[in-house]
Every structure is written in C-alpha cells, then in structure tokens.
C-alpha cells in the first residue's frame, strides 16, 4: 500500500497494514494459542473446583467445544484439501472423543475428568507450534503459555 503524506488516514492504514503483517501469528500459531488458552481455563477451573458452579463448567466446556468444532468442521468440509485422509480422520475421531468427554463431565462433573482434555489441547498446541521441518515456530514475541485475549471465540 502506498502511503499518501497528505492523507493521515491513508498513512495510518498503511502503517497498520505493515505492522499487522509483521506481527500477526500464522494460522497454526493462532490455533495453538487458542488451544492453550482453553487448557489454561480448564486448569484454572480444576484449581478452584470448590468455588466453581455448573455455569462456570458449562462456559469453560463451551469454549473448548467451539475450538474443536472448528477443527471438526474443517476436517469434514475439506476432503480434497491439503490434509491427508488419515490426518482428517484422526482430527474427526479426536474431536468426537472430546465431545463425548465433555458430555460426561456435564452429566457428572468431576475435576479429574478435565485432565485428558487439558493434555490433548496442550499436545496438539505443541504440535502446531512446531513447523513441519521440526523447528519450533516463532512466538511473535508472546509466550505460548499465556495467549492474549485477542484469540477469544465468542459463542
């Protein structure tokens, strides 16, 4: 984009575009950050289990489910995409397991039942933060353990 020195709005838009391109995480990193945020939410819930109620459990699981619905839908809708069939199948099976576990938690809440969901999110996030060549992806100046609130999924 060409900056127009006479138009402050054009200059600001150009500066924003340049900055956004340099500092925006790629899709894999963004997905990893959202998974880590969900894992952290579930761990926080476990740590304050005595003080949480059904609404907190429901909202925490809803956030996680929205993330996994995105993965599930992408795997279903992209049969001829860049993902191999076995990867697509694994994503769908893993999402189904997560949905089933969330239903079990809602039916009979217990803080230990969150352990597997937390571990899955962290392991998948770790894989997403690793480039296909085996190197860890750059973290755009932010710690992957403490993602910013900008990756919120609203429902």
* pLDDT, tens digit, 9 for 90 and up, residues 78-92: 666 666 788 889 999
Residues pairing with 136 in the sheet: 130
Return the closest-CA partner of residue 15 out of 27, 31, 4.
4
* pLDDT, tens digit, 9 for 90 and up, residues 51-75: 999 999 999 999 999 999 999 999 9
Residue 151 CB partners (closer than 8 Å, separation 6+)? 30, 33, 34, 37
The pLDDT-based confidence of 134 (bands split at 50, 70, 90) is low
State the pLDDT at residue 24: 56
């Amino acid at each position: 984009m060409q900056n127009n020195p006479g138009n402050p709005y054009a200059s600001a838009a150009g500066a924003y575009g340049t900055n956004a391109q340099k500092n925006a995480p790629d899709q894999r990193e963004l997905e990893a950050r959202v998974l880590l945020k969900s894992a952290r939410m579930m761990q926080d819930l476990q740590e304050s289990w005595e003080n949480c109620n059904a609404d907190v459990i429901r909202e925490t699981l809803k956030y996680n489910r929205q993330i996994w619905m995105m993965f599930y839908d992408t795997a279903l809708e992209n049969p001829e995409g860049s993902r191999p069939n076995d990867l697509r199948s694994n994503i769908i099976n893993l999402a189904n397991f997560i949905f089933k576990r969330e239903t079990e938690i809602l039916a009979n809440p217990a803080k230990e039942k969150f352990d597997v969901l937390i571990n899955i999110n962290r392991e998948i996030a770790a894989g997403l933060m690793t480039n296909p060549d085996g190197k860890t992806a750059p973290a755009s100046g932010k710690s992957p353990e403490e993602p910013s609130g900008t990756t919120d999924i609203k429902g």
